[in-house]
Structure 1
Amino acid sequence: MIDKRVYMLTIIAFVVGMAELIIGGILDLVAIDLGISISNAGLLISVFAVVFAISAPIFLIIFAKVERTRLAFIALIFFLIGNIIAIFSPTFMMLIVARIISAASGSLVVVLCINLASNIVEPAFRGRAIGLVVMGVSGSLVLGLPIGVTLGNMFTWRAPFILIATLTVCLMIAMPVFLRRVPPKKAIPLRKQIATLKNYKISLAHLTTFFFLAGHFTLYGYLTPFTKTMLGFSGTTISILYFVYGIAAVSGGGLGGIAADRFGIRQTILIVVSLLAFCLLIIPFTVNIVVLFWIILVFWGMMSWAITPPIQSHLILLSPETSDIQQSLNNASLHLGIAFGTFIGSMIVHFGSIEMNAHVGVIFIVIAFITAMISTRRELHFAKNVA
């Protein structure tokens, strides 16, 4: 049975994750209020993603000796400060600073939630525990944008940050009550931590996450123009589309953890990657069969976030003593994959046709399958090979 404290960690991950995309649908409101262009306003998402990707590994090294629950609480304090600054930001540059603070602290919080979840449950339930936290992250990424749109248009673009700040305060009150102390593992020298990446299994696990998310976001980052162009969807239908996709994505994170525990890590990873490739390959051919498109959309959503729990479990088994840094590096790989896939998608749209996005995405997914297959290949006495 899953420890109930894991559910609180899931909620924390959800609230922190919301900060990344919650502003995405109200960039026009921010631009008008602060007197900037839409393209400049878009930097609020780009800067957040890059800082989020690189911060956790650095902070885990700096604060290697700090008790984990306490470190998560301190990080939440800075996350709250970042969102308060955003609420009262009078200029674009101040809002950029607020986003940097929120991204850096939020990145550390999410990785610590995954780490805490894997430490407070029995090994047999580790995959499911990680899966629940991932559900929180994926749920926030999927639902953050519609929540931001709703609040921004009903009140002001500052309203989403007020919501996040309020929820953060509630979590900070609850943390000392529900979460016990989790001591840090013995500090591992930076040189030794970096040396673990010399092991091809570990490096390829991170590359699997990178290429998997890159392939996914090559199309998903442009799903709205794709469905408008190829299927003629309008505003209401697109809202329903994202809602359906969101439910599928959130459930996929949990199912990925359950499958890893029940069927094995290797089998789960390879099946998930294969199914995502199939979805992207076939989705352009479903535009004339709307019912089939919706069915594939659901499977696509489920597979898109089912990869993280088994990959995280795989990394813990590969290098238990550096699991903190591996989890943070994998989180960085995920967000860098999102940024890379979105960039490639924009190039395809600009120089080619949006019809090509899905099939170019498949190329990255195939690379992810190859790296996953090699990384999860069974090997005797593997522990001796982990530097």
Structure 2
Amino acid sequence: MNFKVIILAISAVAVGLVELVVGGILPTIAKDLNISIGTAGQLITVYALVYAVAGPVLLVLTSKMERKKVFLVSLLVFIAGNIMTYFSSNITSFMIARVVIAMSTALIVVLSLTIATKVVKPSQQARAVGLVYMGISSSLVLGVPLGILISDAFGWRVIFLIIAVLAAGSFILISIFLGKMPGGDAIPLKVQLKAVASLKLGSAQLATMFLLAGHYTLYAYFTPYLESELQLNSTWVSAAYLVFGIAAISGGAVGGILSDKIGAKKSVLLVIVSFAISLFVLPFTTFSIVLFTPIMIIWALLSWAITPPQQSYLIQSDPSTADIQQSFNNSAIQVGISIGSAIGGIVMAQGGSVSNLPWVGSAVTILALLCAVLSFSRPIVSKEAMENKVTD
């Protein structure tokens, strides 16, 4: 594979680490900053929400700028945000740092994917994108368990200093090996918004959002859940995250195979229903790690299994706006993460037990099922209809 793509994948690893690592060390952060776990969980909410909004907006605003320069500036901002996190002494400064990091990460990830397709031959573009995504998914798998171990050994702040150093290494590699790349014309944000205005496509995006919201209602607080319900220490919590992450990545492959075999629509419905059931059943297995683990693995598999069939469905529904739909599907994922972590925090802030979070998440997932059914019941969006909407 092209060395430049490998560099972009390394950059994806560096920035990918910062999103979910907070989830594994929430109790430690909460104790250090003298805040509740629910309040600490809003660090995930704010990050995901800013990421979702900033991605499309920043891409449009920087579309005509030279891409390497934009990439390097984004990395510098990302590094500054992590250094700011290292020195944060209260929740306010931490929140500001998360906003800075989320905005820069949103742009870095998009640039990594788009540049990767331009530095290879057309026949290698799919593999190039896959390698960058592998970097992102690897960071999600390794980030949380490694973050827990580093936090236990050196304190949670050191994690963000390490991430800043990794990003600095990426900055050096990009500076040396990546050539200048001119900007281009981007689809106006107004046009992008109109592309998801139809009930069929809009409700499909909402299905993604609510599934991730149901997922993160519990996953954002998985560390306190494991500590409270299964009495696991930090080492075993780290191991649980590692198993969860490996299963989640495997879920992407499972979703793709399922979609090819039974079709995108049936796959989406099967994944959502099974996901809701797995969350509902989870609390009944916490008395035994032997019973809990396989249900956790199923939950993890399903959390990523939705992506391949959902993307296929969006493309089939309106091929003319496929790229835009994928972009907004990524935003829907981040908004779902934001909503889910907020719901979990509210439940806990109102005196609800962490043990209730799986049931709340399961209920939220039902909304995803309703949105999917609504989308499937609508006619396919024609190219002509979409063009009329855009030109109105």
TM-score (norm 2): 0.78
CA distance in 2, matches of 1:262, 1:117: 30
C-alpha distance 238-26 of structure 1, shift in aligned 2 (>3 A) = closer
1:368 has 2:368 as partner: yes
CA offset digits 1:20-47 (Å, max 9, x no partner): 23345556776787xx423476665444
Answer with 153-162 or 226-235: which moved more.
Answer: 226-235
Letter in 1 for 2:63: A
2:62 aligned with 1:63, yes or no?
A: yes
1:213 maps to: 212
Secondary structure, counterpart of 1:22 in structure 2: helix
- Contact between 1:79 and 1:101, CA under 8 Å: does it hold in 2? yes
| Aligned residue number for residue 336 of structure 2 | 337
CA positional deviation for 1:105 = 0.7
1:92-241 paired onto structure 2 within 5 Å? 95-116=94-115, 126=126, 133-175=132-174, 186-241=185-240
Q: Is the contact between residue 131 and residue 308 of structure 1 (CA under 8 Å) also seen in structure 2? A: no
State how far apart, in whole Å, the 2-side matches of 1:224 and 1:88 are.
Answer: 24
Q: Distance in 2 between the 1:278 and 1:71 partners?
A: 44
Distance in 1 (alpha carbons) for counterparts of 2:364 and 2:90: 39
Contact 1:131/1:309 (CA < 8 Å) preserved in 2? no
Unaligned 5+ runs, structure 1: none
Q: Distance in 1 between matches of 2:345 and 2:264?
A: 33
* 1:59 to partner: Cα distance: 0.6
Matches of 1:197 and 1:293 in 2, distance apart? Answer: 39
Shift of 1:216: 1.1
Q: Secondary structure at the match of 2:305?
A: coil
Instruction: Quote the offset at 1:94 in angstroms.
Output: 5.1
What is the DSSP-based 3-state SS (H/G/I as helix, E as strand, rest coil) of the residue aligned with 1:38? coil
SS in 1 for 2:310: helix
Cα 1:277–1:156 shift into 2, 3 Å: closer
Q: Is the 8 A contact 1:209 1:368 kept in 2?
A: yes
Residue deviations 1:181-235 (CA, integer Å, cap 9, x gap): 8776643333322211212232123212210111112222333444445445444
Q: How much does 1:134 deviate?
A: 4.5
- What is the distance in 2 between the residues matched to 1:180 and 1:275? 47
CA–CA separation in structure 2 for the residues paired with 1:52 and 1:267? 30
Aligned counterparts, 1:256-271, within 5 A: 256=255, 265-271=264-270
Counterpart in the other structure of 1:292: 291
Q: CA separation of 1:51/1:296 partners in 2, compared to 1, >3 Å: closer, same or farther?
A: same
Say whether the 8 Å CA contact 2:252–2:301 is kept in structure 1.
Answer: yes
Farther-moved stretch of structure 1 (135-144 vs 198-207):
135-144
Conserved in 2, the CA contact under 8 Å of 1:86 and 1:161?
A: yes
Q: C-alpha offsets along residues 315-336 of structure 1, whole Å, 9 cap, x if unaligned?
A: 4565667666544433332222
For 1:21 and 1:10, the matched residues in 2 are separated by: 18
The sequence identity of aligned pairs, in percent, is: 40
The letter for the 2-side match of 1:20 is E
For 1:360 and 1:14, the matched residues in 2 are separated by: 32
Q: Which residue of 1 aligns with 2:34?
A: 37
Please tell me the residue identity of whatever aligns with 2:60.
Answer: I
One-letter amino acid of the counterpart of residue 13, structure 1: A
TM-score, with normalisation over the residues of structure 1? Answer: 0.79
Whole-Å separation in 2 of the counterparts to 1:164 and 1:71: 20
Q: What is the distance in 2 between the residues matched to 1:284 and 1:146?
A: 22
Q: Could you report, residue by residue, the CA deviation over 1:227-270 in whole angstroms, capped at 9, with x for unpaired residues? A: 44544544443332222112212332455456657765445433
2:51 aligned residue: 52
Asked whether the equivalents of residues 135 and 251 of structure 1 are also in contact (C-alpha less than 8 Å), the reply is: no
Give, in whole Å, the separation in 2 of the partners of 1:121 and 1:255.
Answer: 28
Distance apart, 1:340 and its partner CA? 1.8
Please tell me whether the aligned partners of residues 69 and 181 of structure 1 are also in contact (alpha carbons under 8 angstroms): yes
Indicate how the Cα distance of structure 1 residues 47 and 347 shifts in structure 2: closer, same or farther if over 3 A, else same: closer
Given that 2:20 and 2:44 are in contact with CA atoms closer than 8 Å, whether structure 1 keeps it comes out as yes
SS in 2 for 1:64: coil
CA distance in 1, matches of 2:224, 2:27: 18
Q: Is the 8 A contact 1:54 1:332 kept in 2?
A: yes
Task: Report the residue type matching 2:343 in the other structure.
Answer: I
Change (3 A) 1:164 1:252: same
2:47·2:98 contact (CA, 8 Å) conserved in 1? yes
Task: Identify if the C-alpha distance between structure 1 residues 233 and 336 changes in structure 2 by more than 3 Å, giving closer, same or farther.
Answer: same
SS of equivalent residue, structure 1 residue 198? coil
How far, CA to CA, are the matches of 1:24 and 1:49 in structure 2?
A: 12
CA distance in 2, matches of 1:37, 1:346: 16
**Number of residue pairs the alignment of both structures matches:** 383
Taking a change above 3 Å as real, the CA distance of residues 355 and 31 of structure 1, as seen in their structure-2 partners, is closer
Between the aligned partners of 2:347 and 2:67, the Cα distance in structure 1 is 43
Q: Distance in 2 between matches of 1:221 and 1:230?
A: 15
CA offset at residue 57 of structure 1? 1.9
After superposition, the Cα gap between the structure-2 partners of 1:72 and 1:294, relative to the gap in structure 1 and judged at 3 Å, is same
Give the Å deviation of 1:302: 1.7
